[in-house]
Amino acid sequence: MYQEIDLSKVNYTFRHKPLLIGGTAMEYYELRKAGDDVDFVVALEDYEGLKEVYPEPEYQEDIWGDLGVKLNELEFWKCICLFHYEFLAEKAIEKEHYKIILLEKLLFLKAIAMSKKKYRKDLKLIVLKFLDDQYDDEKWKEKYLKK
């Protein structure tokens, strides 16, 4: 079950609310349980600020050119597949200290990463949720939304 995320242990004041993505966003939408890490995309100025506060190499991440700062289970990414905060945060759900990616944008992220089995599974879960929400017919759901 989704729980609010405590960002107070991060020694940095964000200028823009970080955007929650990944498994914890999947859990927020009640699609599956989150893994051990909590992924955020942050605005460029916040990424640069985090890099200044945490300059040591053990905090720096680079996955195929997506740069991030990792603080224990919290990961703050400059972009995902070169898609930046401004695009991904459009119409996001506002929380007190962060935002949650819109389900349609999460679907987009999973689709562009679908070459990996894990993301294909997530993609299917999101599509099934859209269809389940769209159709009220129980017979249709039973026939087409077998999980």
- How many whole angstroms separate alpha carbon 95 and alpha carbon 100? 7
The pLDDT tens digits for 16-30 are 999 999 999 999 999
Average pLDDT, the chain: 92
Show contacts of 28-34: CB within 8 Å, 24+ apart. 28/2, 28/100, 29/103, 29/106, 29/126, 29/129, 30/2, 31/122, 31/125, 31/126, 31/129, 32/122, 32/125, 34/2
Q: What is the pTM of this model?
A: 0.89
The pLDDT tens digits for 44-76 are 999 999 999 999 999 999 988 889 999 999 999
